[in-house]
Each structure stands twice: as structure tokens, then as C-alpha cells.
Structure 1
Amino acid sequence: MGVGPWQGPWPPGDEYDPDLLREGDRRNVVDRYRYWRMDAVVADLDARRHPFHVAIENWAHDLNIGSVVRTANAFNAAAFHVVGRRRWNRRGAMVTDRYQHEHHHPSVADLLAWAGSAGTGGAGIPLVGIDNVPGSVPLETYDLPRECVLAFGQEGPGLTPQLQEACDVVLHVEQFGSTRSINAGAAAAIAMHAWVRRHVFGQRPH
């Protein structure tokens, strides 16, 4: 994976990293950012971040957190929020967390307080839970708000009762097989893609 040392005269521009140009770029980045400094990549992403956030509960060091963070990077989420334990397993993120903005909230109440003053003009943004619990609404038929926090629980137990209560709505991904639930990382990817379909491509749910 990656590219070797730059061949020929070096390209102009402050975004390029001399070490990467000299030694090659083996990072997990799209071709657009080959040989760029990390802070230059972050600045470019910041200029076009999408206004949805991702919140992940971290009470049992769930291995899926890294996968959710990696997907949040792929869809250029505004930021990701870790609720509970500050330390989380970063292996699945494949270093993508370095290109994002990370926030830590010791409790659900702290996340809710942050969301209450976030968004355009500090008017607050809703928490949208993703979990197949009683009373949840199908994601496929719900019109996701443009500014929101998509909240995910841990693999197995899902969203805690505290976070469910804090959410404006809890959505589930419709399933048609025998399994009770899909992987938490997969559900997160589906939810983020649903947001992109709605707000980037303008496809309203039916």
C-alpha cells in the first residue's frame, strides 16, 4: 500500500511533507493526499466537514469503536465523541482518528450538555440513537436531520438506557434474516451512509 519516493522535481506547495516526498508515503490516505503533511490534510478536511457527529459509548473497550471511527473518517463527519472511558481500542481505526476531531465525555449527561449548545448559532443539535430496541423507528423511513449526533452503543448490549433516554429518536436498521442484530460497526456505516444519501445526494426517505 502507498507510493515510493517522489520521482522528479518536487511539487510546489506548503502542503507537501519533505520527508514523505523523500521516503515515500505508505499511509492509508486517498491519492489526493499523497505526500501531504498531516496537518494540511486535516485543514483540507475541515474546510468541507459534514455537519453530523458520531458518538460511541465506551464502557467495555469494544473493539468495534475503531471501525466506527474509520467509517466516520470515510464520510468526513464533523467529529467523533467517545462517551465513558477515555481510552479506546484504536487498532480498527487504522490511524484515521488522527485526521479527525475527537471529544471525550465522561457520561451521557456530559454528551447531552455539549449537544445542547452545539450546532449553528449554538441552538443545539439532536441526538439520534441507532439500535434495534422496542419502540425504535426504521432508519429507512426517517428523515435524518442535517445537524445531528448519530449515537451508537457497544456490540452486544447496544445503547445504554441512559443514552436511549437522551436521544430525540432511536432508529433501527431493518433486517430480514434470522439474526437478532447486525454488527455495531456495520450498523454505524449504514446510518452514516443514510445521512450522506439524504444530505449530500438529496435522496429523501420513502
Structure 2
Amino acid sequence: MRALSSSLAVLFLLAWVGIAPAQPSFDCATATGAAERAICLSPRLSADDRRLDEAYRRARSSLGDAEREALRAGQRDWIRRRNACGADPACLAEAYRSRLQELGTLAAPPPGPADEAAPAGGLPSLARSLGGIARVEPGPNGTAIAVTAPGERVTLIEKTGVISAGYPWFLIRFEGGRGYQWGGDLCTEGVPQPGTRRTC
């Protein structure tokens, strides 16, 4: 209660002297919890919140219905993690930085001709999904952002050092964005690619 009173007092003082407080994407008059109040009082965190809101909207507009629902679920999970920071500005800044990076990955363009011109066995290279899940970070615990259908064409961009059940995770491009998919759920077209299950 004391923290809430202090936050309101600061906002009132700023308004009284004619300095407009920073405005995040949400209404500070209805801010709840230490994290939201800290964001309202910080111009930097407020700017980060506006940037994240714009990045979220861009990513959402590039996805299909199923992917949008996964994105919404990921955003709800992220808000819970952000709120766990409380009023710690360093923790909040890192939460925004990592989520902005994730959303930037989602809003990337689909595969293009440049992705398809790679030396034999090198990356990028063409592949197909055997039916899998694209995630915002490599590993089975990463937030799901899309389901890639069996036979869906993707581009392998980079092999990560994260290994699950003997197969690495790849950064891939698929129609609608980019994400990480397990190599065991991928097959390559023509030239074998170490780390994928087989050639298609």
C-alpha cells in the first residue's frame, strides 16, 4: 500500500509541475502491481513497453490463426515472468530486451531466393518438415510459435548447439516467420544435412 501511495504521489508531482510522465502502451491510471508501476515511472521502460507492443502487433499480423493463439499464450507467459521482476529495473529491462528479440525473430520475412543459394551440404538449405513445432528459442521448453505441417517447405538457416535426443535444433524460416525446430522433425531435399532425420 505504501509503494502504491508513493507511486501515485510521484505521478501527481510530475503532473503538478507540468512534466508529463512517460506513457507505456497501457493506462498508468489503472496500473496494478509493482512491475507496471515501475514501468510507468521509467521513461526507458515505458519506451520499451511501447516498442514491444508495436513488435507484438507486427508479429501477430504476419501469422495465421493457430500461430496467433500460440503467440498470445507466449505473451501471457511473458507478462507473468515480467511481473515477477517486481520493481527491479534491471530485471524489467532484460525481460523487455529478450522479448523484443523473440518478437523480432517472429516478424522476419519468409524464405527468399537468397536462402536457396547455398553450397552442397551447407546452410542455408532447403528442407521439409516431418510435422513439428517452431519455437522462439531452441529446445523443447521454448515457447511454441507455429506448427509446421508434414511436407511443409522450410529453409534451414543455422544449426544451433542445442541437442535433444541426439538431434540439434535448427533456426528455420517457414511461411509466416522464423523460429527454431528440432532436427528430428526435419528432412532435407536432395543433399543430406547432418542433424536432420533423413533426406526427403
Quick check: which has more Rg, 1 or 2? 2
Q: One fold, TM greater than 0.5?
A: no
Using the size of structure 1 for normalisation, the TM-score is 0.31
Using the size of structure 2 for normalisation, the TM-score is 0.31
Higher share in strand: 2
Higher share in helix: 2
- Asked which structure has the greater RCO (Cα within 8 Å, sep 6+), the reply is 1
